[in-house]
Each structure stands twice: as structure tokens, then as C-alpha cells.
Amino acid sequence: MSTQSKAESAFLTDVHALRERARQALDDGAIMPSYKGDVNQTIELLQAVVATELVCVLRYQMHAIAAEGIDSKSVAAEFAEHAESEQKHMLWAAERINQLGGVPNLSPDGLASRAATEYGDARNLIEMLEDNLVAERLVIEHYQELIRHFGDDDPTTRTMLEKILTEEEDHASDMHDLLVAYRARPFLK
């Protein structure tokens, strides 16, 4: 046996054993015995992600409709683009819940209490930008915590959240840049 095949066999499960495990517990779907996470806890955490993203969709969509003032059309277009992105995030989390054997909670009942972000009550463009930047900053920190929580125990959920986090950081940067422009303050301190 070569050095490489000895090293490979030290950490790779024999393909025959993998095949046998794959045939067992077919009702578990994608959940394999090698899954190290707590399925119920993961589903519960992802339900909050779904609710958070839904609230963000609604807030951005409302802001896209209500934006008024100079250059409001371009800002409204940015809000609408972010609403689409947040909806995509919500669907990713909902699909992950489904993969784990759960049922995504898309009910409007109790939506605000399940979400990490708030809908807000912005009355002008500056307040809309501030509400959205606060929400983006909140989800950035929240998703960073979730990513650390899942670690290697659930790499699929972690990777999904990392992808969402990348887009949320981009959204925060967009909201910050627009807020700086509308406040007419210099970008750098």
C-alpha cells in the first residue's frame, strides 16, 4: 500500500460502509448519522432567519414604494433590489429547514416577534436609510454568531449563512454610502 493510500484510509470511510449507511434510515432524507448538529435547534434558529429576512423584504419593499425626494427613484431602485435579495435569503433558509425535515414558518402571525430586525416607521428617506443600515448591521452580527455556532457541526447551514452574510455586508455598505451622500457628510472621518 502506498503512503498516499495509507493516509487516505486513515480519515476516509470505506465506500462500502458509506453505501450501507446511505441505505439505512431512508426516512431521514438528507440527515446522515455523521450530522453533528442538533436538527431541532438548527430548524428553530433558521425559522428566526426566515422571519428576519421576511421582515427585511417587507421593509425594503415599503421603502421602495414610499421613497420621495431628489434622486428618490435611484434610491427606490436600490431598496427594491435589496428586497429581492432578502427574499432570496429567506428562500434559502426555508429550503434548508425543509432539507432538515422541518416546515418553514412563513405565517404572518407573530412574524415581528420571530424576527431579529424591526419593520420600522421611517417617514423620510434619511430615516429609511438609517432603518435599513441598522437592520443590516444587526443581521451581520447575528449571522456571524450563527456561523460560529454551526462551525463544523453543520457545514451546509454555515456555508449558506456565509453566503447570506456576504450579501448583507454589501447591503450595509450600500446603505451607508447612500446615507453619507444624503446627509452630505464626508465619507471618511
In tens digits, the chain (189 residues) has pLDDT values of 455 555 555 667 777 777 776 677 666 666 767 778 899 999 999 999 999 999 999 999 999 999 987 778 999 999 999 999 999 999 999 999 999 999 999 999 999 999 999 999 998 999 999 999 999 999 999 999 999 999 999 999 999 999 999 999 999 999 999 999 888 765 555
Q: In whole angstroms, what is the distance from residue 119 CA to residue 100 CA?
A: 28
Cα dihedral across residues 98, 47, 122, 132: positive or negative: negative
142 conformational bin, left if phi > 0, alpha if psi -120 to 50, beta if neither = alpha
Inter-axis angle of helices 125-150 and 155-183, to 10 degrees? 160
Using DSSP, state whether 118 is helix, strand or coil: coil
Cβ-contact 53, 116 below 8 angstroms: no
Question: Could you give the C-alpha distances from 117 to 23, 80, 98, 133, in angstroms and in order?
Answer: 42, 18, 23, 11
131 contact partners, CB below 8 Å, separation of at least 6: 59, 63, 118, 120, 122
Specify the pLDDT at position 50. 98
CATH of 37-183, one of 2.60.40.10, 1.20.1260.10, 1.10.760.10, 3.30.70.1400: 1.20.1260.10
- Residue 25: predicted pLDDT: 63
pLDDT of residue 81: 98
Looking at residue 98, its pLDDT comes to: 96
What pLDDT does 15 receive?
A: 77
| Residue-wise burial string across 93-132, b where 16 or more C-beta atoms lie within 10 A, e elsewhere | bbebbeebebebbeeeeebeebbbbeebebeebeebbbbb
- Please identify which residue in the block is written with the cell numbers 415581528: 112
pLDDT number for residue 2:
52
Among the listed residues 129, 115, 132, the one whose alpha carbon sits nearest the alpha carbon of residue 48: 115
Question: How is the chain split into domains, by residue range?
Answer: 37-183
| Angle at 100 (CA atoms; ends 107, 48), nearest 5 degrees | 40
